[in-house]
Amino acid sequence: MRAESDTFFRDLLAAPGPSGDEREAAKVWRAYAAGFADVRGDALGSCYATVNAEGERSVAVLGHIDEIGLVITHIDDEGFLWFRGVGGWVAAVLVAQRIRILTKDGPVPGVVGQKAPHLTDQEERDKPLRVDQLWIDIGAADGDDARSRVQVGDLAVVEQPIVDLIGSRLASRAVDNRAGAFVAAEAARLYAEQPGSWRLVGVGSVGEETSFSGAYTSAFGLDPDAALIIDVTHTSDQPNVPKRKVGEITLGGGPVIERGSGVHPLMFDLIGEVAKAEGIPVQFGASSGSTGTDADAVKLTRAGVRCGVVSVPNRYMHSPNEIVDLNDLEATAALIAAVARRLDDLPPIE
């Protein structure tokens, strides 16, 4: 991966952007895209990067820019903060994590607390842990001290720096879905270097983890002729993940093309044909209806949009240490740009 692209992805991962407040991540995305595209935002905070603006037909390339997070629900008189998940969390991965609370006066650090094992009996240890049994400790002296720094409704993210692993792999929070937001911008850059006949709009959409809000509003406003949705997907190259459920998906195996009931058949056919023509190794995932991605909203917008879904393999999704292979990211961006150049091959709507 070229140095500028690598830096962009790492800056995206470092920026906080829980569903509902994606402003910091959006700033990073817009600054990068401004180097090759016409960039703007919308009322909800989604970002747009338009290239080949004179194209008569348009394709939207969406990667949601939000991440799962936390929201403060109560501050008790002892100064501890109680919270709910914003998006899907398993309580076990939150225990003892460091937290960055996004307040109006700037970030406030904290840690997730839980009773030490010495203070729990066997019955407690045997019960499944719930998010509502955890709290955040910011080191406050009491409730008044905590309330002077944090308010109910403040959002938060896990404070987990990037860890470079062996080869081209790294671990970080927010890979879901800064990987897709990266591809949406990077594919626009590649398309700008060698455009086809269509107008391409890269989109960093907001709110996917909670409501698909950015996908609905972006698709309605752009009214594209087709859409390519970029997200992450589970791998089966890890212990206790059955291939019969997930499929044969591996890190480093290339982009994953979604096929089945949740995506338009003409789109997944075209994506597969382009991958073969370009010599880009790909993998396949199966959809039985809902894709769990922005495609579920985009395809139902206005009179309907033909959608394809391409995913980046991701180990340990919805955890503070999601693992991605940078080679997969690079290949996915190249594939999306190549597909955009071949959209004239789509049969007309009858």
Give the tens place of pLDDT for each residue, 197-248.
999 999 999 999 999 999 999 999 999 999 999 999 999 999 999 898 889 9
CATH number at residue 261: 3.40.630.10
Do residues 72 and 150 touch, judged by C-beta distance below 8 A? yes
**Does residue 334 sit in the same domain as residue 212?**
yes
**What pLDDT score was predicted for residue 236?**
95
Q: 128 versus 13: which is more confidently predicted? A: 13
CATH number at residue 128: 2.40.30.40
**Does residue 208 sit in the same domain as residue 257?**
yes
Signed CA dihedral, 165, 170, 174, 177: sign only: negative
**What pLDDT score was predicted for residue 233?**
97
Question: Is 350 a domain residue?
Answer: no
Average pLDDT over residues 164-181: 98
Structure tokens at 81: 């903060």
Segment 77-95, tens digit of pLDDT: 999 999 999 999 999 999 9
| Identified catalytic residue from 22, 67, 208, 322 | 208
Q: pLDDT band at residue 157, thresholds of 50, 70 and 90?
A: very high
**Does residue 197 sit in the same domain as residue 123?**
no
**Does residue 188 sit in the same domain as residue 333?**
yes
In this predicted structure, the answer to whether residue 123 has a pLDDT above a threshold of 80 is no
Domain boundary (93, 125, 158) is at 158
**Does residue 23 sit in the same domain as residue 93?**
no
Provide CB contacts within 8 A for 171, sequence distance 6+: 162, 163, 165, 316, 321, 322, 323
Catalytic site includes residue 208: yes
**What pLDDT score was predicted for residue 124?**
76
Question: Is 128 a domain residue?
Answer: yes
**What pLDDT score was predicted for residue 272?**
97
Identify the CA nearest to 135 among candidates 188, 89, 96.
96
Question: Is 165 a domain residue?
Answer: no
**What pLDDT score was predicted for residue 104?**
96
**Does residue 258 sit in the same domain as residue 195?**
yes
**What pLDDT score was predicted for residue 120?**
80
**What pLDDT score was predicted for residue 329?**
98
**Does residue 235 sit in the same domain as residue 340?**
yes
Q: How many domains are there within the chain?
A: 2
Domain boundary (158, 186, 220) is at 158
**Does residue 193 sit in the same domain as residue 330?**
yes
**Does residue 105 sit in the same domain as residue 136?**
yes
**What pLDDT score was predicted for residue 235?**
96
In this predicted structure, the answer to whether residue 29 has a pLDDT above a threshold of 90 is yes
Identify the CA nearest to 182 among candidates 331, 317, 295, 319.
331
Report the chain's mean pLDDT, rounded to a whole number.
96
Identify the CA nearest to 177 among candidates 61, 314, 287, 71.
314
**What pLDDT score was predicted for residue 9?**
98
**Does residue 247 sit in the same domain as residue 305?**
yes
Average pLDDT over residues 297-324: 97
Question: Is 29 a domain residue?
Answer: yes
104-108, 120-124, 258-262, 307-311: which range is least confident on average? 120-124
User: Interhelix angle for 23-33 vs 175-193, to 10°?
Assistant: 20
**Does residue 77 sit in the same domain as residue 215?**
no
Domain that holds residue 144: 69-158
Max Cα-Cα span within the chain: 69
In this predicted structure, the answer to whether residue 118 has a pLDDT above a threshold of 90 is no
Question: What is the pTM (predicted TM-score) of this model?
Answer: 0.95
Question: Is 285 a domain residue?
Answer: yes
Question: Is 118 a domain residue?
Answer: yes
**What pLDDT score was predicted for residue 125?**
76
In this predicted structure, the answer to whether residue 350 has a pLDDT above a threshold of 90 is no
Structure tokens at 167: 């080869």
Segment 270-301, tens digit of pLDDT: 999 999 999 999 999 999 889 999 999 999 99
Average pLDDT over residues 103-125: 86
Question: Is 168 a domain residue?
Answer: no
Question: Is 164 a domain residue?
Answer: no
pLDDT above 70 covers a percentage of the chain that reads 100
**Does residue 206 sit in the same domain as residue 78?**
no
Provide CB contacts within 8 A for 74, sequence distance 6+: 81, 82, 152
